[in-house]
Amino acid sequence: MTLNLIETIFNYLKEQPEEKFTARQVAEWVFATFPAECQAKKDSSQALKTDADLVQQLAAEIGARRPLLQKRHSEVKTTEGRPRKYYYSSMSDSDEVAAAESAAASVADAGQRRIDERALYPLLSQYLWEEFGLYSKRIDEKRSSNKRGQNGNRWLYPDVAGMEDLGADWHPEVRDCVHQYSDKRTRLWSFEVKQLINRSNARECFFQAVSNSSWANFGYLVAAGINGQDTLKELRMLFAAHGIGFIKLEADNPADSQMLIPARERDEIDWDMVNRLAMENKDFMEYVKLVRQFYQTGEARPADWDVHELHES
């Protein structure tokens, strides 16, 4: 009996909605569940000499049949990045984002391990420190003046910020920072963090990162999850025009995170925008002070940044 791989995969995923499986995991299930069909497939091919060869072939065929599988069954969705994972969901892309945020809030309220967006910030700091030696600082928009009224500072602040006299109205801390910035001893980074990005919110999240990273040398969008077969492709197209990079953050093990799209460097800091951010947000003012201190002393103390606990351990 010949195995109908597409329908077999669909039925397997449908029986376990929202659970995510790699092609290898699905192939191993097929091999264990349909031994007669798998043996017949191996016997009919001279290239498949072992069971391991057969499982590898099944995994490859699952990947090759993905477009047809999703064309026939729109409920089958995939994550982006590697390894790609397959899952069944009857929710729309926008509903997926809302469900992820709601589930994170419920877990946090129940006192379990926090998986909401705020829990991603220290994980990102850990990855940035271990991978790039980057000092980072959390920027909390709630510590802003909001003197411009509702939505006056919308998309203004990044979630995390990594280290010419333009006017007398500049704050003294910012002016001192600029005076010390006589040679390029640092590159300043900006990060917008999201829990989940898919086709429904990819462009909005990207342009939020464009907006609140305009001051920095490097701007990045960061997400713990990225779903949809065209989502990463969309982000790459937007990168070509705007230069914002993308980091896939692995919440379970930050060391496995990946910079899937490297940001394009801007040569100059936008000090006008830095001044606005610092004047209106206490966290960003603290960030500016730390950058200034680095230029004055030539040293950055990990205890002053969000990496101090990692450094001490």
Question: What does the block give as tokens for 40?
Answer: 């017949």
pLDDT at site 189: 94
Does the pTM exceed 0.75?
no
Query: For residues 202 and 196, is the Cβ–Cβ distance under 8 A?
Result: no
DSSP per-residue codes, 21-81:
EEHHHHHHHHHHH-HHHHHHHHHT-SS--SHHHHHHHHHHHHHHTHHHHHHH-TTEEEBSS
Distance of CA 163 to the CA centre of its chain: 21
Q: CA–CA separation, 172 vs 279, rounded Å?
A: 10
DSSP per-residue codes, 89-130:
--S-HHHHHHHHHHHHHHHHHTTS---SHHHHHHHHHHHHHH
Per-residue pLDDT of the chain (313 residues; tens, 9 = 90+): 577 888 989 998 989 888 888 899 999 998 889 888 888 888 888 888 888 888 889 989 888 888 888 888 888 888 876 778 888 887 776 666 666 655 544 444 444 444 567 889 999 999 999 888 889 999 987 777 666 555 556 668 888 999 833 344 677 787 777 766 655 678 899 999 999 898 888 999 999 999 999 999 999 999 998 887 788 889 999 999 999 999 999 888 898 898 989 999 998 999 999 999 998 899 999 999 998 888 888 788 888 999 755 555 4
Q: CA–CA separation, 185 vs 183, rounded Å?
A: 6
Question: What does the block give as tokens for 129?
Answer: 């420190």
Q: CA–CA separation, 84 vs 70, rounded Å?
A: 14
Question: What does the block give as tokens for 279?
Answer: 């004047």
Half-sphere exposure of 248 (CA within 13 A, CB side): 17
Domains of the chain by range and CATH? 5-90 (1.10.10.10), 117-312 (no CATH)
